[in-house]
Amino acid sequence: MSWLEKLLPPKIQHTDPADRRQVPEGLWIKCPSCETVLYKTDLEQNQNVCPSCNHHHRIGARARLNAFLDNEGRYEIGQEVVPVDPLKFKDSRKYPERIKEAMENTGETDALVVMGGAVLNINLVAACFEFDFMAGSMGSVVGERFVRGVEAAIEQKVPFVCFTATGGARMQEGLLSLMQMAKTNASLTRLAKKGLPYISVLTDPTTGGVSASFAFVGDVVIAEPRH
């Protein structure tokens, strides 16, 4: 320590950046509605609803299904179906690179999670979009998992529930994405013919082509309130 540093009051003495106490990122969240700064864990424990203004924050697929389904008897449907790159698509980046990044960021293998289980002991199959996986876009995997979920509901004679959070069709799969609209709607027609209910819950954000297909054809369509 030089004579000058010795003269400085302790408060202005420089510390080694490595010694400074690290504040973990993302521990606090500012509510976009009431601007209250919320502790992330508190928000999650309140199912992502702001404790001070009741604003419904966005919620991931698995967290939502966790909150929705009874703890017992859950099983996942179609997790073995994973994305491929049939068109060798490339925009500013290659499609497989985008998939890899989305997988790392979300821990999911595509933008739809489907689970069988029960709600208050009533058996059903529930599908939920993961918006953080390529904006919840629907490609072949999302379509296939959706249909497998509907087929499981038909087989077990139980209702099918879908929570949408999606930007629409996945452009990296071109026409194959658009085909999913017909494919998913055809499966819902089979469900309807068996007299089984389809409940569509629109959550923030639901936009694009999916709204024009299976999201709006539910026997019951519910829009999750923002407040």
Footprint on this chain of Zn ion (rule: CB under 5 A): 31, 33-34, 50, 53, 55
For Zn ion, the closer of residues 55 and 190 by Cβ is 55
Smallest separation (angstroms) from Zn ion to the CB of 28: 13
Three-class DSSP category at 148: helix
Alpha-carbon distance 21 to 120, whole Å?
Answer: 46
Smallest separation (angstroms) from Zn ion to the CB of 60: 19
3-state secondary structure 131-147: CCCHHHCECHHHHHHHH
Sign of CA pseudo-dihedral 51, 56, 58, 60: positive
For Zn ion, the closer of residues 31 and 154 by Cβ is 31
Smallest separation (angstroms) from Zn ion to the CB of 66: 22
Smallest separation (angstroms) from Zn ion to the CB of 53: 3
For Zn ion, the closer of residues 50 and 111 by Cβ is 50
Smallest separation (angstroms) from Zn ion to the CB of 35: 7
Smallest separation (angstroms) from Zn ion to the CB of 31: 3
For Zn ion, the closer of residues 151 and 204 by Cβ is 204
Q: Please list, in sequence order, all residues whose beta carbon lies within 8 angstroms of the beta carbon of residue 67, skipping any fewer than 6 positions away.
A: 47, 59
Smallest separation (angstroms) from Zn ion to the CB of 178: 38
The secondary structure element, H or E, covering residue 223 is strand 220-223
The number of CA neighbours under 13 Å toward the Cβ of 32 is: 6
CB atoms within 10 A of CB 120: 5
For Zn ion, the closer of residues 57 and 98 by Cβ is 57
Query: Which backbone phi and psi does 180 adopt, to 5 degrees?
Result: -65, -25
3-state secondary structure 7-37: HCCHHHCCCCHHHCCCCCCCCEEECCCCCCE
For Zn ion, the closer of residues 53 and 192 by Cβ is 53
Alpha-carbon distance 49 to 55, whole Å?
Answer: 6
For Zn ion, the closer of residues 52 and 156 by Cβ is 52
